[in-house]
Structure 1
Amino acid sequence: MQHDDVTRAHGTHVVHHGPRQAPPLVLIHGSGSSGASWNPVVPALADRYHVIRVDLPGHGHSSPAPSYGVPEQAGRLAAVLDDLGLPPATVVGHSSGGYVATALAEQRPDLVGSLALISSGPSPDALLPQPVVLRMLIAPPLGPLLWSIRSDAMLRKGVTATCNGPVDVPDDLVAEVRGIGYRTFRTVLRRNTAYIAERSVPDRLTALGVPVLVIFGAADPRWNPSSARRYDTVPHARVERLPGVGHFPMLEAPETTGELLLAFAAAGR
């Protein structure tokens, strides 16, 4: 995908799209992914917003971090946004990227005007038994071996295993996922679980009081789709359930996902 500009700060790879003077919209990918996961929705968003895609620590083109705790990842992102000198942004997180977005708002409410969470499980008990290909890649004893020899086809299968039907997986997403280390991925997953076990995401959002959009695929094989109703209790939250969509709405239903994000961001201006 073509982009307007690439910057690097605090070890973080940042890709900018759209006019710099436009309102900022920050995109945060999930674990085991990269900023390229947003490719299908970026063009529509960049028509109206300064879109900032980041690679989280140890993912994509970003350097590793001493700690992969969710608050620490949010702190690194805050430093990046401080350097950019942006007004409060619409911050969008996919899957565990929603946890980083939430932690950013907890730490630095001055940086976050509104939050959108896509396929972000509310608490550990909402996690479903994972697809076989993911269990094989993640869990020992086979995990480290398969991770070291994984092919492009296996990586694509890992992404599509959490989708509800065939999708076009961006080539740069496959290339960037290949660079994620096994130990990094395992550590990130543990830290994510610790964050939502300490306090559920709906509870955290309720305490924040910022406008929230929650997008959940009604056929998500990773998180129990019925758990999306827990977000209904969050004040100032709108919950959108997408029929027939799995864990990757931006790959499976990019047009609908983009429209929802545009409408939400515009409402907060």
Structure 2
Amino acid sequence: MKRATLWPDHLLPEHSVPPPWPGREVRLDGTVTYVRDTPATASGAEPALYVHGLGGSSQNWTDLAGLLADRLDGQAIDLPGFGRSEPGRSYTIPAFAQRVVRWIEHSGRGPVHLFGNSLGGAVSVQVAALRPDLVRTLTLVSPALPFLDFRRSLQGRMLPLLAIPRGERLAAWRLAQLAPEAMAQQVLEACVADLSRICEQRRQEALEEIRVRYEAEHYAAAYVRTFRGLVSSFLRSYLPGAGSLWRLAGAVRAPTLVVGGRHDRLVDVRVAPQTARAVPDSRLLMLDGVGHVAQVEVPRLVARAVLGLLAETGDTARRSDMAG
């Protein structure tokens, strides 16, 4: 593990607030996966794939994907049951990882620069460990890798819901009791350390995403079942067996950037450094005063770290080609 290198800020595009990138529905293995495309703005750009966290969507990557568009030809997917994708049959880490693998294979763009936030980070670790041929580099933002002290997460208060038969019905009832505006505010407060960094346009977009959830009858069940699958993966990671996310992290061979916020209220702040220690070729960036979605809250800082990773690994690849 080493410290992440930051690309000079003045070499990034000027500040802007782009609208969400255009999306499309793609039928994959019998169900619809929703995909947003962030086209490259320069020749020679390499393919990238962005994977959101629990309760999130492809829209969580709008700013970062735009900042990286001169180097990366980006796609962001909605996982099954989230955003505008249709529900899936299973909501486990392996099931989501298989969907990501299938999308990379279907799109014919692999290997990709793979990005994952929170749940998407855990999914991306599994993809990178089991299918190294599909991953050029790996960037993990507040990855939801296992921790057992749920007092360190606001989501710990959801644990009793998992013990209730048909807990998703209770979750759906609770969702119906809150106005979309109140829910959007709660989500922002849970995920972002400094709300002054979120402009009015992004707040309105977050509200619209909440309204999409309210219209999707499957959303509450998808959320609860995914949370149940995530907790199960945490518990299995401390037992013998090949499915441990920590053992998978140790098997990742792609050059990796790990970004963590010191004010993360959803994932134990100790997880990001532990992830960087577990992945053999890793770089760590810990951000003061930043919460769970650094790519939303401080996208330029995250972009600088990603560009530092790309510069380093690009130079390494060129030296390898010359040596060959």
SS of alignment partner, residue 158 of structure 1: helix
CA positional deviation for 1:232: 3.9
Q: Pairwise mapping of residues 93-172 of structure 1 onto structure 2 (< 5 A)?
A: 93-131=116-154, 135=157, 139=161, 143-162=171-190, 163-166=192-195, 167-168=198-199, 169=203, 170-171=205-206, 172=208
Does the Cα contact within 8 Å between 2:20 and 2:59 map onto a contact in 1?
A: no
Gaps of 5+ in 1: none
Q: How far did 1:87 drift?
A: 3.1
In the other structure, the counterpart of 2:290 is 245
For normalisation by structure 1, the TM-score amounts to 0.88
Deviation string 1:37-90 (CA, Å, 9 cap, x unpaired) is: 112222111222110100000001111111111111111221111121113111
Give yes or no for contact 2:54–2:120 (8 Å, CA) kept in 1: yes
Q: Which amino acid aligns with 2:178?
A: R
Quick one: distance in 1 between partners of 2:71 and 2:100?
Answer: 23
- Whichever of the two has the greater Rg, that structure is 2
1:173 correspondence with 2:209: yes
Aligned-residue identity in percent: 24
Give, in angstroms, the shift of residue 268 of structure 1: 3.2
- 2:62 aligned with 1:44: no
Q: Kindly tell me: are residues 21 and 177 of structure 1, through their superposed partners in 2, closer, same or farther at Cα, counting changes over 3 Å?
A: farther
Letter of the aligned partner of 1:69 in structure 2?
T
Counterparts of 2:268 and 2:245 in 1: how far apart (Å)?
15
Query: Residue 213 in 1 paired to residue 249 in 2?
Result: no
**Does residue 1:84 correspond to 2:129, yes or no?**
no
- Partner deviation per Cα, 1:80-138 (whole Å, 9 max, x = no partner): 11121113111010001011111222332211112111111331325445449x948x9
In the alignment, which of 235, 244, 248 is matched to residue 197 of structure 1?
235
CA contact (8 A) 2:258 2:276 kept: no
Deviates more, 1:60-69 or 1:226-235: 226-235
The alpha-carbon distance between structure 1 residues 27 and 175, as it changes in their structure 2 partners (threshold 3 A), is farther
Give the deviation of 1:160 after TM superposition: 1.8
Give the unaligned 5+ runs of structure 2: 1-18, 162-166, 238-243, 315-324
* SS of match in other structure, 2:35: strand
Q: Given residue 34 of structure 1, which amino acid in structure 2 is its aligned partner?
A: S
The secondary structure found in structure 2 opposite 1:46 is coil
